[in-house]
Structure 1
Amino acid sequence: MFRTTILKRIEETAIMAIVRVETMERAIEIADGCLEGGVDCLEISYTLPNAGEIIQQLSAIYQERILVGAGTVLDSETARLAILNGAKFIIAPNYEESVCKLCNRYQIPYMPGCTSVTEMMTAIEAGASMVKAFPISTYYGPTLIETLKTPTPYLPIMSSGGANLSNIDEWLESGVDCVGIGSLLTKGTQEEIAENARKLKQAVLKHKEKSEEKVNC
């Protein structure tokens, strides 16, 4: 799968489940719930030691039905292991040059966490595919994206934290390229996860319809 294909899929889905899970059984429940609701992008966090195993098994079970990537990747060693386990993208809470170089070498999208515009531009100039507004998304909300996109409208941004069913429309209208969602897509039963995923995906589709109408007017 080419880097551009992966990025296009992330942008089309526009919702990414941020998953921290201890067992494979629970990972499958979450994946099934997300898929049922129309969310097919999952970030498996390396805050838990079994992240590589989860990525490998989910990739084997779902093949290309789900786009599985690695999160909380702090160094190039972890990034390489994640890629070998089948991770299709790498996300981090920080920007690390060695991780950026390694991901570019293997044509894997890298999305580092950045707080300032200077950090974001440094990451993009070095080859990052998208920047994750972290942890500032939680503090500033959707207006953050509008503020960042005003001077840099070409900057691809993923939010992480702060989005929920009540404000998802605001996030999408702000111009964010992908919204990272934690609890809504990882807590509760498979049915509850599916319902939340469905509502989030419906918001994305509605937003895209509105955008197309504006272009055609």
Structure 2
Amino acid sequence: MSSKQEILSQIKEACLVPVLRASSPEKAVRLARAAAEGGVFVMEVTMTVPDAVSVIRTLVKEDPEMLIGAGTVLDPETAKACIAEGAKFIVSPALNLRTVEYCREMDIAVFPGSLTPTEIVTAWQAGADVVKVFPAGAMGGAKYLKSLKAPLPQIEMIPTGGVTVETAHEFLAAGAFGLGVGADLMDESKLDNGGVTAKAREYMAAVKAFREKK
């Protein structure tokens, strides 16, 4: 069993954290596998997916090469259910201190959502491993992240919202720990034409190109 530190290292190396939303459990599993085929192995299964906990169970059991986390987790009870099925990290669009506390007790990586400097510092002081900056795009994207990282370099942040293949390098240059990617990658409508796998490859190429330039 991987330690929390190993999980965090794997996520940092993978860089992409796709936010998996789907209209059915079956499509959620297909989306995850299509992205994995394109080289993306970290998946955040959101609780907005119907029967999301069963999706986590299926992917953990049948696709052990993937690193599965739970997203849109709003309370410790939901976190507990997801961890019981094998979720290795917990993500939320907002800061719920009880959830952060529970994940710390369980030694599970937790990425609460925050937006303002005060919220971000509060999340970090509560024990967040990484803070999800959401919605980053609505606040100015990479420029906003850069503004946050200047006084808070010690806090790891994953911007979500506004991340595309075209903006990926800007967010990484601004100091992102990783990139939360939503519908731009995990698009149900592109499942049948290979579009999800193709887009995943584009993202991985963008990350590789950024790292080679450094």
TM tier, shorter chain?
A: over 0.9
TM-score using structure 2 length: 0.93
Change beyond 3 A, Cα 1:31–1:56:
same
- The 5 A counterparts of 1:80-159 are 80-159=80-159
- The 5 A counterparts of 1:166-205 are 166-187=166-187, 188-189=190-191, 191-205=194-208
TM-score using structure 1 length: 0.92
Runs of 5+ unmatched residues, structure 1: 212-217
SS at match of 2:165: coil
Moved over 4 A (4+): none
The letter for the 2-side match of 1:47 is: T
SS at match of 1:145: helix
SS at match of 1:206: helix
Distance 2:6 2:138 in 1: 29
What percent of counterpart residues are identical?
33
CA contact (8 A) 1:22 1:50 kept: no
Partner of 1:54: 55
Report the alpha carbon displacement of residue 49 of structure 1 after superposing the two structures with TM: 4.0
What CA deviation, in whole Å up to 9, does each residue of 1:127-177 have, x standing for no partner? 110001112443311111111111111210001110112222212211111
SS at match of 2:195: helix
Report the alpha carbon displacement of residue 40 of structure 1 after superposing the two structures with TM: 0.8
The letter for the 1-side match of 2:211 is: K
Report the alpha carbon displacement of residue 48 of structure 1 after superposing the two structures with TM: 3.3
Partner of 1:208: 211
Change beyond 3 A, Cα 1:116–1:139:
closer
Deviates more, 1:106-115 or 1:47-56: 47-56
Q: For the aligned residues, what is the CA RMSD? A: 1.3
Q: Count residues in correspondence.
A: 210
CA contact (8 A) 2:20 2:32 kept: no
